[in-house]
Amino acid sequence: MQLAIHLDSTSTVPLHRQLYEQLRQRILSGQLLPGQRLPSTRILAELLAISRTTASLGYEHLLSEGYLQAHRGSGTCVCTQLPEQLLQAASPIVSVPSIGGSPRLSRYGAGLSEARMLLGKVSPPPSINFRYGPPAFDALPLQQWRRLLTRHCRCSPGVLDYATDPLGYHPLRESIARYLTRSRAVRCTADQMLIVSGSQQALDLTTRLLVDPSDVVALEDPGYLGARHAFLAQGAILLGLPVDSEGMVMEQLTGQPPGTVKLVYVTPSHQFPTGSVLSLPRRLELLAWAKASNALVVEDDYDSEYRYGGRPIPALQGLDRGDSVIYVGTFSKVLFPSLRLGYLVVPLELMPVFARARWLTDRHSPLLEQYVLRDFIEEGFLERHIRRMRRLYAERRQVLVETLHAHLGNRASVLGEEAGMHVLVRFQTHLSDEALVARAAEAGVGLTSAAANYLHSDVQGEFILGYADLTPERLVEGVVRIARILDAKE
Ligand SMILES: Cc1ncc(COP(=O)(O)O)c(C=O)c1O
């Protein structure tokens, strides 16, 4: 195949970026047609006299933005269903795709087109919803929370004014630092801690401050969509790293030439969504690689409080002897998501820039909730609640797993460790994920396919089942309804 690509090795634009731009232009202008097959990275590298890594990175970028698709065994092709906005922009001069009729979007705004799938659906929720994320709302210690809210509404001067510190209420930062030190073996003080609006803001700030367009970000594949889309919106090139029973596989990362990968996103305590735990040798390998490559690792410790078998696993951050890890945590799981409070632990020298960015973004998190949370932690309610929820969720997980085995036998395999608030289930079925989700919805059951969590492969039959907010009766009923669908003949 003659691709007529000309790369300029004297340019300051990296070669993989030039490759990406030129292929993208050929797709937009119709020179490369939907479905058309592209040469393998090996052949492309030979044709253009570039390294295979450069060729792969160029393809990765186009794959992650939906211009290309890859199928096991049949190589890489131009996407057959190019996003609508790209087709409208089928002129070689257009450099920013338009979305929803607005031609004036920034590169960042245009980069959000793929993230539309993150927005919740407005249709009424099914009666038994296995959606992942929510805690057991009816088990929250709301009485204590209400009492503390009243206390601070009445007696805390300044609680309604602007905060003077965008990093968060200092006594709360101290409480969280102590909590993380004793429960997660994180090495930190309040001076390295920033209170944020949940992990999502932590990921967004981190990305905007540390990733430039065309930087390479490595992440688990399958992985968390909230992180993937934050990186994509910033124009990052994604390098998906496969996951096995010991967590993220390191070969593709450590095999990259030094300096290629800027940042790695990882969920080591409970990989999302597969549930595996990053083994100690891989943790040490990741930290050694980060130090040698001057790269940063973002550790998302979103639900690590919940482990039901074996000993708790200390945070990766606590093993780091350098300044390579940015640690992200949230109160969405241990309390409730609408609280919108989370935290970031960052190397000290990055604190000033995080403070400035936070102030510019939304100044600071609401003070009232920060005061309440500080007392909630200091008066022992948080850890008591976590202990209670650990028992409750362990029981719910067990009911779900046993019922799946009882009703579906080996047609349902549950992946991952005994931890967290969801399981990944692989169903053996002839139904596509779409069809199973639709039939489940008709039966009043909410199911989430894990297909979107995979960067490149087209895995079918894997579903993320959240169980924390479902009583044992509803869990059993939900599984019975799923089994009925899978048992049906057509
Ligand atoms: C991997 C992961 N990180 C973080 C979160 C929580 O995000 P937030 O703190 O923004 O509510 C979730 C929610 O499901 C998650 O799955």
Distance between Cα 195 and ligand 1 center (Å): 15
Strands 37-38 and 75-78: antiparallel
pLDDT for 467: 97
pLDDT for 108: 85
pLDDT for 86: 54
Flag whether 453 is in a domain.
yes
Residues 438 and 370 in one domain: no
Residue-wise pLDDT tens digits, 12-54: 778 888 888 888 888 887 777 788 788 888 888 877 888 888 8
pLDDT for 489: 64
Residues 265 and 404 in one domain: no
Which residue has its alpha carbon closest to ligand 1 atom 4?
302
Pick the last residue of a domain from 365, 383, 401: 383
Residues 324 and 455 in one domain: no
pLDDT for 90: 39
Higher pLDDT, 31 or 326: 326
Taking a C-beta distance cutoff of 8 angstroms, is the pair 297, 326 a contact? yes
Residues 179 and 279 in one domain: yes
- Following DSSP, what letter does each residue of 182-217 receive, concatenated? HHH-----GGGEEEESHHHHHHHHHHHHH--TT-EE
Residues 134 and 55 in one domain: no
Task: Work out which ligand 1 atom sits closest to the CA atom of 203.
Answer: 10
Could you tell me the two tokens for 266?
């990882």
Higher pLDDT, 75 or 73: 75
Residue-wise pLDDT tens digits, 179-195: 999 999 999 999 999 99
Distance between Cα 149 and ligand 1 center (Å): 25
Average pLDDT for 473-482: 98
Residues 227 and 260 in one domain: yes
Pick the last residue of a domain from 320, 352, 383: 383
Residue-wise pLDDT tens digits, 94-104: 333 444 446 68
pLDDT for 121: 66
Flag whether 123 is in a domain.
no
> Residues lining ligand 1, CB < 6 A?
133, 198-200, 224, 267, 272, 300, 302, 330, 332, 337, 342
Average pLDDT for 87-94: 39
Residues 377 and 391 in one domain: no
Flag whether 122 is in a domain.
no
Residue-wise pLDDT tens digits, 103-114: 688 888 888 877
Choosing from 276, 332, 343, 465 the residue with most ligand 1 atoms within 8 A of its CB, the one to mutate for a pocket test is 332
Choosing from 224, 343, 365, 464 the residue with most ligand 1 atoms within 8 A of its CB, the one to mutate for a pocket test is 224
Pick the last residue of a domain from 363, 383, 403: 383
Q: Where are the alpha helices (DSSP H) in 379-430?
A: 381-408
Residue-wise pLDDT tens digits, 461-473: 999 999 999 999 9
Provide the residue count of the chain: 490
Flag whether 347 is in a domain.
yes
Distance between Cα 371 and ligand 1 center (Å): 23
Amino acid at 25: Q
Could you tell me the two tokens for 94?
């257009």
Lowest-confidence pick of 92-101, 285-294, 414-423: 92-101
pLDDT for 490: 54
Distance between Cα 377 and ligand 1 center (Å): 21
Which residue has its alpha carbon closest to ligand 1 atom 7?
199
Radius of gyration of the chain (CA): 24
Number of domains in the chain: 3
Distance between Cα 312 and ligand 1 center (Å): 20
Flag whether 114 is in a domain.
no
Residue-wise pLDDT tens digits, 225-271: 999 999 999 999 999 999 999 999 999 999 988 889 999 999 999 99
Could you tell me the two tokens for 167?
């990093």
CATH of the domain at 275: 3.40.640.10
Residue-wise pLDDT tens digits, 441-465: 999 999 999 999 999 778 999 999 9
Residue-wise pLDDT tens digits, 123-164: 788 999 999 989 999 999 999 999 999 999 988 888 999 999
> How sure is the predictor about 122, in pLDDT bands with cuts at 50, 70 and 90?
low
Domain containing 187: what range? 145-383
Lowest-confidence pick of 65-69, 199-203, 335-339, 409-413: 65-69
Residues 340 and 407 in one domain: no
Residues 478 and 366 in one domain: no
Residues 93 and 225 in one domain: no
Residues 411 and 376 in one domain: no
Q: What percent of the chain shows pLDDT beyond 70? A: 93
Flag whether 110 is in a domain.
no
Distance between Cα 68 and ligand 1 center (Å): 28
Flag whether 4 is in a domain.
no
Nearest-angstrom CA–CA distance, 246 and 272: 13
Taking a C-beta distance cutoff of 8 angstroms, is the pair 172, 370 a contact? yes
Which residue has its alpha carbon closest to ligand 1 atom 2?
302
> For residue 30, is it left (φ>0), alpha (ψ between -120 and 50) or beta?
left
Average pLDDT for 58-63: 86
- Averaged confidence pLDDT in the chain: 90
pTM above threshold 0.85: no
CATH of the domain at 55: 1.10.10.10
Distance between Cα 227 and ligand 1 center (Å): 9
Residues 245 and 351 in one domain: yes
CATH of the domain at 397: 3.90.1150.10
Higher pLDDT, 316 or 39: 316
Flag whether 1 is in a domain.
no
> How sure is the predictor about 88, in pLDDT bands with cuts at 50, 70 and 90?
very low
Nearest-angstrom CA–CA distance, 312 and 307: 6
